[in-house]
Amino acid sequence: MTVSELIALATEAKTHAYAPYSSFSVGAALECEDGSVFTGCNVESASYPCAICAERVALGAAVAAGNRRFQRLAITSSGEDFCYPCGICRQNLIEFSPDLQIIAVSGTTGEHKEISLSELLPFSFTSDNLKQL
Ligand code: THU
């Protein structure tokens, strides 16, 4: 799949965002090791902290379908800025794939930038830390 195709899937997922409180729609497309892709959008709640980010919706769907290794994650939002995963999503994602390639897309221009997850979350806390007990 091309980068443009992955971004198109994230953009389509964004149209399903449920974001009546922030009005900030996000779509994500997560590509698994076998090439399959799972998408997600943000899902908000009247109880604001319950909001789930698009990236974790996609991750949950992919893991529930039996996937554990991921290659690329495209993220787009309704904002102009490039949309990178929030801190919680970075931690959830690095559990599975430290070398995941993040494709951050501008919601208005469609331009994108690529960066690895380990660059976004250096010195991360992982299961290795728990082995030191
Ligand atoms: N959001 C995401 O879905 N992904 C991000 O990377 C940043 C934030 C959502 C959460 C909330 O529904 C809205 O954007 C505003 O924070």
Residue 115 has pLDDT above 90, yes or no: yes
Q: Would you state the structure tokens that stand for residue 123, as one six-digit string? A: 């010195």
Decide if 55 is catalytic: yes
Q: What is the pLDDT of residues 44-67, one digit of tens each?
A: 999 999 999 999 999 999 999 999
Instruction: Write the residue with the smallest CA distance to atom 7 of ligand 1.
Output: 86
Which residue is closest in CA terms to ligand 1's atom 6? 85
Using the mean position of ligand 1's atoms as its centre, give its distance from the Cα of residue 125 in Å: 22
What average pLDDT does range 71-100 have in this prediction?
A: 96
Structure token digits, residue 110: 């469609």
As a whole number, mean pLDDT of residues 96-103 equals 96
* pTM to 2 decimal places: 0.96
CA distances from 125 to 71, 93, 133 (A): 20, 12, 14
Q: Is residue 105 exposed (0-12), middle (13-18) or buried (19+ Cβ within 10 Å)? A: buried
Distance CA 79, CA 16 (A): 16
